[in-house]
Structures are given as C-alpha cells and as structure tokens.
Amino acid sequence: MEKNEMVRWLREERAARLEELYRLADETRRRNVGDEVHLRGLIEISNCCVRDCAYCGLRAGHRALTRYRMNAEEILGCVRQATDYGYGTVVLQSGEDYGIATEPMAELIRRVKSETELAVTLSFGERPDEDLVRWRAAGADRYLLRFETSDAKLYSQIHPPRAAPSDRIAILRRLGELGYEVGSGVMIGIPGQTYESLAEDIELFRTLDLDMIGVGPYLPHPNTPLGRSPADFLAPESDQVPNTEEMTYKVLALTRLACPRANIPSTTALATLNTAGGRELGLRRGANVVMPNLTPSKYRALYEIYPGKACIAETAERCQACLRQRILSMGRKVGSGPGGSAKRRPAPAISTA
C-alpha cells in the first residue's frame, strides 16, 4: 500500500468501506500471528522523568505530581504475580528516569530471568548505549521506544530541545543490532499531526521492520502545554488528524496490513475512549496483544500520562480475570509463553478450506 492510498483510508468516513478495511486487517492478523492474544504484564516502576515533553503528564515541569520509584523487591513482587497469572512477559516501564541506575537494573533483569521463564521488555525512554548493551547482556529481551512522529517539525514542537539532540530512529536501529526485539509507535491525533505525516509514520513502521508497534489515541493532560493551549499546536483544520476512536481503528488496521507479522497491542488509551468494548474492537481490527496492569494500587494513579485512564481502580487480579474473559468471549485464545516476534519463526500455514 502506497502512502497516498493510506491517506485516502485515513480520510475515509463510509462505514461499509471501513468495515472492509477492518475485515482485511483481521484476516491478515489471523494468517500471520494467529488467534492467540498475548498478555503482557505492565509494571510502571517509576513516574520520574527528566524530559519536558509538551503532551505528557509525567513531564518534569509538572510540579504538582507526586513522584515515586519502586524498589527491586516491589518490582519482583509484581513479577511473581505475572508468573502466577500465567503471563509470558513483563513490561518494565518508566519515565526517562536516570535514578534507575544501570547496574541495579541489570541485576534485577538477571534475577527475573533466573527465577522465572518470563520475557522482559524494557521501556525507559532514550538511554545511553552502554545501558542498552548492559541490559541486553543481563537478559532483557525487548525494548519499546516510541518515535512519536516521523515529522521532524512536529517532533521539535512537542519535545523541548536537549543539550544532546535526539535521534530515536538511530536508537531503534541500534536496539536491533544488539539483538532486542524492537518496538515503537505513535500517538494518533496529537495537535499538529497531519494525515500525510501519519501515513509516513506507518511507512516508517514498515521500513524499520519493527517487532512490536503501539498506536493509541492522543489523550490530553490539563497540566501540559498541549493540554492548556492545543490551538497553538494544531495543523490547519482540513489536515489535522482527530484523536478519535474511529481514527485509532483505522491506524491499527493499516498498521497490521503494512506490518503483518508485528505484535500490536490494543491499548489502554483505546479502552479509555471506549470502556465498554474498545479493547475488543481493537483486537478485531488488527491487534493481538493486551497489557494488563500489575502496578501496585498505591502507585497506579500516579502514573498519569493522561487523566481518566481505564481500569485505574482495578486490582491486578481482577484486571487479568476480566481480560481473559473478554478474550475468550470473542472466540479468541489466551496466548501462552512469551509470545515473541512472529518474524523470528515460520509463518503458520494458511488454510484453503
């Protein structure tokens, strides 16, 4: 699919046409990654961040936010829950927090790998190369780093300048060289995002040959520059991508068609827009992963990238039970094992029956 065709699909409003897109995406998902839905246990280990991104509630400039950083035993307690619940992966996520030191994290990764059969995914933002090397050597399997947008002008508008310039694309390529399964993604409908730049984002997913791709709607936080003054960032009205549920499904479907063997989550942000069935619709339109939250209740509300997050009050136990039931009610299977990249194993045979 060429970029111009993607733009036409992103602008498409006819329900019948969109249902055809979603059907093609779902069939592509079934043929390439199967009917299993993999559960990744999310542990939000710190809400500290040195960055001041214009859209994020964890930004350093949000002075009213109470900060936390989990210790190793707290994290390992969540890891044990993941094992108890039958998850195959834990995702350790934080702001860009240099209080998460290199060697203590390497030791934690070694403990998880020696004491469990879990895959370990890290999502700590931009880190020095020596950290990425050390953590890979300790046993980390995957790394998630969203490039947010392929539009350099928009990127500079929503990310204040740093002493050292950012090059997330170079970091993503380096992660692949180190042997990580590599994940990235974008927000949909962030002020300033155009249909053409969003189509270029999907093309970049394909060019980078990503193992994991996260796409979810932009949800504004009132204590951020974008939340306070969105009009200062918006693209012209005819070009501005809306941050709607329907647009998210379009991008999910197009991403599946562009990257048929990637692992793609149906995100919490999508469930926030539609608590009754957003995750299920995402799974019917190209996704094959969900990420139940294992973060302890006393920290969960403090990891506020955006307000009103779905299932914020749910316990880890209730969350996993609910998601399993929802998956089974769709006629899908709950995945077993780490559910690694489909690009690293042969594609399943396609039945002609």
Domains of the chain: 3-330 (3.20.20.70)
SS3 (DSSP) at 13: coil
Residue pair 326/280 in contact (Cβ under 8 Å)? The answer is yes
pLDDT (tens digit per residue) in 25-64: 999 999 999 999 999 999 999 999 999 999 999 999 999 9
Residue pair 56/288 in contact (Cβ under 8 Å)? The answer is no
Q: Model confidence at 314, in pLDDT bands (50, 70, 90)?
A: confident
Cα dihedral across residues 269, 66, 70, 186: positive or negative: positive
Is the confidence at residue 348, as pLDDT, over 70? no
Percent of the chain with pLDDT over 90: 88
pTM value?
Answer: 0.95
Q: What integer is the mean pLDDT of 285-307?
A: 95
* Mean pLDDT of the chain, nearest integer: 94
> Which range (165-169, 235-239, 325-329) has the least confidence?
165-169
* DSSP string for residues in 260-309: TTSB-B--HHHHHH-TTTHHHHHHHTT--EE--B-S-HHHHTT--SSSS-
- pLDDT of amino acid 89: 97
Is the confidence at residue 347, as pLDDT, over 80? no
